[in-house]
Amino acid sequence: MNRYLSKSSSETGRTVFLLVFFTFSAILMLLLCLWAFTANNIWLYLSIYFVLIYAFFLKGKHSLFSIPTLFCIFFSYMIGLGPVIAHFRDWKPHPSVMQLILGSFGLILFGYILPIRKNSISNNVIKDNYSIIWSFNTVLLLISTVASTLYAWSVNSFDMSLAASRIVALSGQGTLIYISNFWVFASCLLYELQLKGYRKIGLLWIPILICIITKILSGFQSSFLVFFVMLILIRNKKEKMKPFFILAFGCAVLLFVPFYQIFRGDYSSAQGILPSIFLTPFASVINLTHVLNAFPNAIPYQYGYTYLINFIMLRPGPDPDFTLWLKDALNMQFVGGGVTPTIIGEAYLNFGYTGIIIQMFLFGLILKRVNLYYINSKNYFLPSYLMMTMLNSLRGGVANISISLLMFLTMYFIMRLIVRLSVVPQATGRQL
């Protein structure tokens, strides 16, 4: 009992320390911002940014696949390093952009370190009928393969450049697009069953490969990357993976897009591979700057409308998705897809600075909950998918993941309901 009270007291003291530390850092950051960022001090930005990263790791033990580690890697690559890369490319980011990035990072940190009640995982689980789950996802994979092939054929992917196919892919036919995305859902669940020793995927890798190829040719190469990251997250739930393999995979992912662009003829090999890798954070800063300049001066705040745009795309007709809508609204002219405003820009163009404060804080709270779920759950797929979805929202915003999240969760719970109706509850059992 005394040991429990001592542990609880220690944990409370650590939380209080983090809150005091964060409050002090926030006040210091505000003062430094008011004084130094008018001079566009990139080194001060980096110093504060690394202090915030360090604060993420003060509490608890962390591995390469813990939420703090993955979040810091994804946030840095998609947003955080943008001002630094822009600085060395002689494109000076406005001080307000750097302040917003640091402030957003700090608000996410604040939401993450707040103590929450840890719900225990019940032992009263449903013993899964693996054969039903396997059959369900096999059928879903085959339907998705047909949808992916039909869609790639309808947009004539084999005769278009990557940029052109991306434009066509995001304009209309929304329902077919999202049905074709179920291959990721089905493949990951089949892979989970393979890891649990039920059955090997075997010949089902053929429709999986067909989906990968058709998605890449249609301009959706990001779904291919999400699929492989999901496989690693699921495998890591089964057994801890070696850091060397993870680093090798990360390098392969970073090199995939520029090499693919050269193959498709949309990018000159003379420009270099490494510069293209760092275009993502650089583009994020440019897009965020355009959003800050346009809203609400030239374009009124949208007050949540952009969160619904991708749902409108589901109806027949040439309705653009959120990124293409924003590209047209900002009157930006460039070859390729739409404008990804980052999750920061998405919150700002809807509700201004108030939106940023609320959305970033809530993001941190949810991030903490997902991390606990990934650590404690016996489930492989669902916590891995929720983790990947949150990380994937950093660049494109909530609008870009909302439909996939809703459809995947709906399909998952339909599958669970079918399993629940087919088996008898027991005190213990296998859980998927």
Q: Taking a C-beta distance cutoff of 8 angstroms, is the pair 243, 64 a contact?
A: yes
| pLDDT tens profile 378-406 | 888 999 999 999 999 998 899 989 988 99
Give pLDDT, residue 162. 47
Break the chain into its structural domains and give their ranges.
2-113, 130-270+348-422
Give pLDDT, residue 275. 54
Query: Which DSSP state fits 90?
Result: T
For residues 214 and 145, give the distance between their C-alpha atoms in angstroms, rounded to a whole number.
9
Question: Which tokens go with 117?
Answer: 């009640």
Question: What distances in angstroms separate CA 252 from CA 101, 185, 192, 270, 424, one per listed residue?
Answer: 28, 23, 23, 20, 45
pTM above 0.75, yes or no: yes
Query: Which DSSP state fits 80?
Result: I
Q: Which amino acid is at 141?
A: L
Q: Taking a C-beta distance cutoff of 8 angstroms, is the pair 132, 418 a contact?
A: yes
3-state helix, strand, coil in the chain (%, to 5): 75, 0, 25
Query: 320 by DSSP, 3-state: which?
Result: strand
Bridge partners, 320 (sequence order)? 171
| pLDDT tens profile 262-292 | 555 444 444 444 555 677 888 899 999 999 9
For residues 411 and 140, give the distance between their C-alpha atoms in angstroms, rounded to a whole number.
10
Q: Residue ranges of the chain with pLDDT lower than 50? A: 1-7, 120-126, 160-163, 165, 265-273, 426-429
Give pLDDT, residue 119. 57
Give pLDDT, residue 213. 87
Give pLDDT, residue 429. 45
Give pLDDT, residue 410. 93
